[in-house]
Amino acid sequence: MMIEAEQPLPADEPSIPNHIAIIMDGNGRWATARNLPRIEGHRQGVASVRRTVEECARLGIGQLTLYCLSSENWKRPSHELDFLMHLLEQYMIEERSLLMEQGIRVQMIGRRDGIPERVLNEIDKTIELTASNIGTCLCLAINYGSRGEIVDAVKEIAAEITAGSIEAEEVDEQLIADHLYTAGMLDPDLLIRTSGEMRLSNYLLWQISYSEIWVTAKCWPDFLESDLHEAMEVFSKRERRFGGLS
């Protein structure tokens, strides 16, 4: 049974994921298949972001985390990276009124190094503007890599041990989680990946330890609200045992 688009889902329904993370893959392949430049795939991908963000807000999803730019993506051609930065800056500016209307709160995870100052300024403005909103949290993973995140957490913990503020014996899973970029956030319940690839691509490796994974062959520009509903329906039918027995 598919979720009807016009019927909001109860936020406290246990079968509804509170946190959805998405690897938005396939923009370039979508464009290449249509004999278009790769940047056109990224442009069309923004429309899918808008649809997905609005639908998650309407359904009462607590958090949506989108993999916007990985730390490995800097290996791409400079003109493509420049266009991605332009799209990100444009999104921050053009979507602010809609984010406020829908009560969406924006956050960012990832390293700020390498991101143009003008883009960071617009991201920071949007984060500050939406900070008091109580609807869906839209978390953007920009210049993000999970291994780098863990390295940064280890460095911070090591520095605290050296300073004597904590003892080595105090290091446990919760302490590590508290030093990740996602500190204070719930782990994703559902991980969605588009374009049919069966890999995690250095995305939220610590946080998705017990996330349910759903993969679609569709490239990201073709991802629709109905695809989000399908992923959520599959999620609702899975039994999550977290290593235990049913």
Which residues are the active-site residues? 25, 73
* Three-state SS letters, 189-221: CEEEECCCCCCCCCCCCCCCCCCEEEECCCCHH
The first and second tokens of residue 21, run together, are: 């993370």
Asked if 53 contacts 228 with a C-beta cutoff of 8 angstroms, the reply is no
The first and second tokens of residue 74, run together, are: 């800097």
Going by their DSSP bridges, the two strands 105-109 and 63-70 should be labelled as unpaired
User: In whole angstroms, how far apart are CA 73 and each of 149, 208, 216?
Assistant: 16, 21, 22
With CA atoms as reference, report the closest residue to 186 among 169, 211, 162. 211
